[in-house]
Structures are given as C-alpha cells and as structure tokens.
Amino acid sequence: MIDASESLTQRVEPIEAGEHVIAARFIGEQPVLALAGGTVLLGMNHQRVQPHGDAAILVASSDDTMLLTGGDDGKIISTKPDGSSTVLGDEKGKWIDAVAIGASGSTAWSTGKKVVARDGKGALKEWLAPTTAQGLCFAPKGYRLAISHYNGSSLWFPNTEGKPEFREWKGSHLDVTFSPDGRFLVTSMQENTLHGWRLADGKDMRMSGYPSKTRSFSWSHDGYWLATSGADAAIIWPFKDKDGPMGKAPRECGVRHSKVSAVSFHPRALVVAIGYEDGCILLCRLTDSAELLVRPAVQNEGRITSMGWNKTGNRMVFGTEEGAAGVLTLP
C-alpha cells in the first residue's frame, strides 16, 4: 500500500500541454513535450514552437542535444532546446512511422517499408524492409540499426553494401530495443508478448503473459533490467546473466487495478517510474519494492503516454493522452 506520507504529489508542477503528449523528455535541464497537434513545448516557461507547421507529430525520440520528431507531413525534424529546428528528412507527405537517434548525431526514420539512416554528416542511406518497418533502434555501439517488422527483425549496417541480417520469428513485431551492452535485441509483438534474440548465437527468448501490447520499454542504468508496460504492474525482466531472462521469472512492481502504459527507469538508481492508464504515476524501488506516489489517478486526463528523467535524476517530466503534463522535482 501507498503511505500518504510517502507521497511526492506536492512536488509536481503541472504543465498545461492541451494535446495528446507523444513524448515527454528532458534535454539538458529543460523539459520538452512533443504534442500530437504539432507543437513542441519547451522549458518551464512553456515556450511553444511548431516545427511541423499545421501538421501532426506522430513519433518522437530525443537525446542530450535534440528532440527528433516525425510528422504526418512526412518531415523529420530536429528541435534544439532553444526552439530552433532543422529539417533532416522529407518523405513528401507520407506518415513517418518510427524515428531513432544514434551516436554522433546519427538519426533514422521509416515510412512504410522505406527505412532511411542519416549519419552525423548528413549522408543518407536507404533500405526497403520486406514489410512495413514498425520500430527502429540504433545499436549502442557502431553505426548499426535494428528494424522490427512482420515475421522478425533485421539488423542493418547502413554503411556496408551487404544485406541486413534477418532474425526470423513469426508474427508482427512492433517496437524494438537493444540491451545497453548490445547482447540482446527485444521486440514487442501484436500478440501481447515480447520476443528476444541473444545476438551472439541467435537464441530465441519468448517473454509472454501480458494481457495487452507492450508499447513502452526502459532499461535500468546498469543495463541489467528491462521494464515493460502492458500488464497491471511494471514487468521487469532480468538481463544480467549471460542467458538474460531465459528460464527466469520477471519482477512485478507497482501492482494496481489499472494497466501500465509507460515506464521509465531512473538514470542512476534502481528506481522505475511507472505510469498507468488511469493517469496514476508511482516510483518503485527494485531492491525492496517500496513505492512512492507521484500522481494519483485523475479522471478524464487519460493514460500516461510518456515519461522522461533529466540526467542527474532529480527531475522527471510526464504527459498524458488528454494533454495533461507535469514535472516532478525530487527532494
């Protein structure tokens, strides 16, 4: 149970986002919200910019320097914390399905089957996936991109001529993530399961038991744990051993009567922020399962869609489906 004295609700400063929050992130010390209507909201003084004009933002990602957004105008735009933006790609009105950011300023995006990788110098490389690319993720090291699609995922080195390496597993793969040590690749699937590959030997891992789709992943700072959404608790898989989660049960944190819609690990401690469909947010410590309430369930403000920490981990920004948002500052 949550002790009222263990509540952080007084330490949340609300932000009136007003539209579906696609991504809530920190860039440096600045909270940034990407909103579905096309607005990017910057900082605590709520500066609003419209990098995509009247078009909608469909997908977003971020790193220490920029917010990367893909819109229904077919544009891929990088926005800096000062509000200035640069168009990195233009797919002529086609919906952008996924975006990803890699090391040294590299980015990637996809529309339908077309996948584009752009290195830090702006050189573009293209690859056509066998079916629509659903998710993109750069490998932690090297210029290598994982693409999830129907019946498996592909690993592509954009700077080499060779065919991408295909990892087969029947079904529709949605989002994709590399473990921080690069040993494992994990996808979420249409059939409410996760699929994992140990890349060294291609061994398959099936992580099942979810009542709905997993649409949010987060790795712990040490890379040993993967928190996932899609159940009535955050399902946290152990990846420390050489076999990863094979043959092991996951941890369940923050069991409630509402589904988890977003997860975000603290950048320095084994604490995970858990956002629910009813708008509630808890912080949960892995070591002893202690819970702290950040935000109670709020009617009509929708599910938590995204959460993000600053680098030191004393502040966290979140947003909801109906346009509520806020910033938590830890004591």
Partner 1 sequence: MSDKIPVTVLTGYLGAGKTTLLNRILTEPHGKKFAVIVNEFGEIGIDNDLVVGADEEVFEMNNGCICCTVRGDLIRIIEGLMKRKGKFDAIIVETTGLADPAPVAQTFFVDEDVSARARLDAVITVVDARWLKDQLKDAPEVKNQIAFADVIVLNKIDLVSADELVDVEKNIRAINAYATIHKTTRSAVSLDAVLGKNAFDLDRILDIAPEFLEDVHVHHDESVQSVAINLPGDIDPEKFMPWLNEFTQAEGPNILRCKGILSFKDEPKRFVFQGVHMILDGDLQRDWKADEVRQSKMVFIGHKLNRAVIEKAVEACRV
Residues that bind partner 1 (CB under 8 A): 20, 22, 36-37, 56, 58, 72, 94-95, 97, 112-113, 131-132, 134, 150, 170-172, 189-191, 212-213
Least Å distance, CB 302 to partner 1, is 10
Using left for φ > 0, alpha for ψ between -120 and 50, and beta otherwise, residue 28 falls in left
Least Å distance, CB 253 to partner 1, is 23
Residue 105's SS3 state is: helix
Question: With the C-alpha atoms ordered 195, 60, 100, 266, is the resulting torsion angle positive or negative?
Answer: negative
Instruction: Select 21 or 282, whichever has its Cβ closest to partner 1.
Output: 21
Instruction: Select 113 or 125, whichever has its Cβ closest to partner 1.
Output: 113
Instruction: Select 70 or 158, whichever has its Cβ closest to partner 1.
Output: 70
Instruction: Select 245 or 323, whichever has its Cβ closest to partner 1.
Output: 323
Least Å distance, CB 152 to partner 1, is 12
- Which amino acid, 33? L
The residues facing 136 across adjacent strands are: 147
Least Å distance, CB 164 to partner 1, is 19
In angstroms, the CA 76 to CA 56 distance is 12
End-to-end CA distance of the chain: 22
In angstroms, the CA 171 to CA 253 distance is 28
Instruction: Select 208 or 329, whichever has its Cβ closest to partner 1.
Output: 208
The angle at the Cα of 174, spanning 39 to 321, to the nearest 5 degrees, equals 35
CA-to-CA separations, 310 to 37, 38, 39, 160, 162, in angstroms, rounded:
25, 23, 21, 35, 38
Least Å distance, CB 303 to partner 1, is 11
Least Å distance, CB 193 to partner 1, is 9
Least Å distance, CB 172 to partner 1, is 5
Least Å distance, CB 113 to partner 1, is 8
DSSP 141: S
- DSSP, residue by residue, 53-67: TTSPEEEEEE-SS-E
Closest CA to 196 of 239, 251, 159: 239
Tokens 């992130």, residue located: 25
The residues facing 27 across adjacent strands are: 30
- Which amino acid, 24? A
Instruction: Select 224 or 276, whichever has its Cβ closest to partner 1.
Output: 276
Instruction: Select 113 or 248, whichever has its Cβ closest to partner 1.
Output: 113
Instruction: Select 73 or 291, whichever has its Cβ closest to partner 1.
Output: 73
In angstroms, the CA 138 to CA 301 distance is 33
Least Å distance, CB 318 to partner 1, is 17
In angstroms, the CA 156 to CA 154 distance is 6
Instruction: Select 22 or 284, whichever has its Cβ closest to partner 1.
Output: 22
